[in-house]
A = this chain, B = another copy of it.
Amino acid sequence: MATGKILVAQGGGPTAVINQSLVGVVLEARRFGNVERIYGAHHGVRGIIHEDFVDLTRETSHNLEQVAATPGSALGSTRDKPDLKYCQQIFEVLRAHGIGHFFYIGGNDSSDTVRIVSEQAAQAGYPLRCMHIPKTIDNDLVANDHTPGFPSAARFVAQAFAGANLDNAALPGVYVAVVMGRHAGFLTAASALGKKFPDDGPHLIYLPERNFSIDSFLSDVKAMHERHGRCVVAVSEGIHDASGEPMLVRLAKQVEHDAHGNVQLSGSGALADLLCEEIKAKLGIKRVRGDTFGYLQRSFIGCVSDVDAREAREVGEKAVQFAMWGDRDGSVAIKRTGFYSADYELLPLSTVAGKTRVMDDAFIAPSGSDVTDAFRLYLRPLLGSGMPDAYRLRPAPVDKVLGASG
C-alpha cells in the first residue's frame, strides 16, 4: 500500500478551470482515511526538485472552493520539460518526502513526465501511484474527447468573434484575428461558434491542419470582401506553408527588415500585423484591422463554460479515485457518453504521453477555410449554458425623396 502523503502540481499554460482540477484532487483525497497529508508543489516539476511544497491539508475547504473558481494556476506553473535525469530528481524528492501518490495536472508534456517518474518508481520498487490529470486549451491530447480548459477558451474565442463580427458590420472592412494553437486548430475553429446569421463572420478560418498559401488567402479575402462588403478572418498562430515553415517567419522575411521574424508565436501581434500589411498592399483595401487574442483567451476572468468547470473538477476527483481504488498509474480522459454527458476513464500513460492530437478531417470543410457542422455539433455543448446571443433589426426600407445616389 502506498504511503499516506499525496503530492499535486500544475504544469504548462494556465487555464480558466485548472484550479478546479487541483481542488478536485484535494477535497476528494481528504475523504480517504489513509491520506495523512496533501502537498502542493509550487511551479510544477520545478517546485518538486526544489522541494518547494505547501501543505494543502491546512487550507479551508471554503477557500479551496473560491480558488477552484479562479482562473490561472493557483500553485504556479512551469515550462520545464523534464528529461530522464530531471525525472530521476523528481522521484528522489518524492521518495525523500514519503510521497505515495503523485498527481500532475497538465498537457502532453506533463503526461510524459508522469510516465517517466512512474517507471522510475517501478524500477526502484517504490510504491508510488502516478496520475496525469488532463489540461490544455489546445485540446490536443490524443484519446480524449476534449480536454479541460479548452471549452472555456473556446467560449472566449466564440464570444470574441461574435462581438468582432458586430463591430466589423458596423464599420466595414477586413478584420483578422490570430488565435492560439501551434499544431491543433481546435481553438481557432471555435470562432465558427460565434456565427449566427449566414453573412456573419468569421467568413474565413485558417487552421494549422492545412497548409497555408498567402495567394489563396488573399484571393479568399478578396472574394469575401466583394460578397459581403467586409470580411472577418480567424487565423491560427500555427499556420505554416507546405514546407512546414510557420507563416510568421515566412512573412517576416517577405516584409523587408521586419523585426518580428524571431519572436515566438504567442505574446506578439506580429502575425496579424503582417497579414494585414499583405492585404493592404496586395488588395488595396483601406480599412484593415488585426487583433491577436494573446493571453486573454486563456486567462480572461469571467468567461468560463460551466460544463468545463464541472468536468475539470471531476477529472481531479476521478484521478484520486482511480489512484486509491485501482492498482495502476495512468492518465484520466474525458469520454463523451451523450448529447451532452461525459464519463471518465483511465488511459495508460503511454497512450497519451508526448503525443499530439489535431483536428479530424471530418471537422474541416473541403475548402480548408471553414469548419463542418460535425465540428459545430462537437463543440457547442462544451461551451456551456448562457452563451450571449446577437440580434438584428429587420429590414424596413424607406423610399428616397431626393434620390441621392446610395
Partner-B contacts on A (CB < 8 A): 10, 13-14, 16, 39-40, 49-56, 58-59, 63-64, 66-67, 69-79, 92-93, 96-97, 159-160, 162-164, 166-167, 169-171, 175, 194, 255-260, 263, 266-270, 272-273, 276-277, 288-296, 298-303, 387-398, 400-406
Cross-chain pairs A/B with CB under 8 angstroms, 21 sampled: A51-B400, A51-B402, A51-B403, A51-B406, A67-B391, A70-B392, A72-B163, A72-B169, A72-B390, A160-B300, A162-B301, A163-B302, A164-B299, A175-B295, A256-B259, A269-B269, A269-B270, A269-B273, A289-B294, A291-B292, A291-B294
Q: Please state if A296 and B392 are interface contacts (CB–CB under 8 Å).
A: no
Q: Please state if B273 and A396 are interface contacts (CB–CB under 8 Å).
A: no
Chain B proximity of A303: nearest CB distance (Å): 7
| Interface of A, helix, strand, loop or mixed by DSSP | loop
- Which B-chain residue is minimally distant from A68 (CB atoms)? B391
How far apart are the CA atoms of A14 and B168 in the complex, in Å? 9
Q: Please state if A74 and B296 are interface contacts (CB–CB under 8 Å).
A: no
Q: Please state if B298 and A167 are interface contacts (CB–CB under 8 Å).
A: yes
For A72, give its contact among B56, B74, B167, B289 (CB under 8 Å): B167
The listed residue with most B CB atoms (<10 A of its CB), out of A56, A92, A166, is: A166
Chain B proximity of A113: nearest CB distance (Å): 17
Q: Which residues of B contact A166 (CB under 8 A)?
A: 14, 70-72, 299, 301
For A395, give its contact among B54, B70, B276, B405 (CB under 8 Å): B54
Q: Please state if B289 and A51 are interface contacts (CB–CB under 8 Å).
A: no
- Which B-chain residue is minimally distant from A274 (CB atoms)? B259
Top 10 closest A-B pairs, CB basis? A269-B269, A72-B166, A257-B257, A267-B289, A291-B294, A66-B391, A167-B299, A53-B398, A163-B299, A302-B388
- Which B-chain residue is minimally distant from A57 (CB atoms)? B396
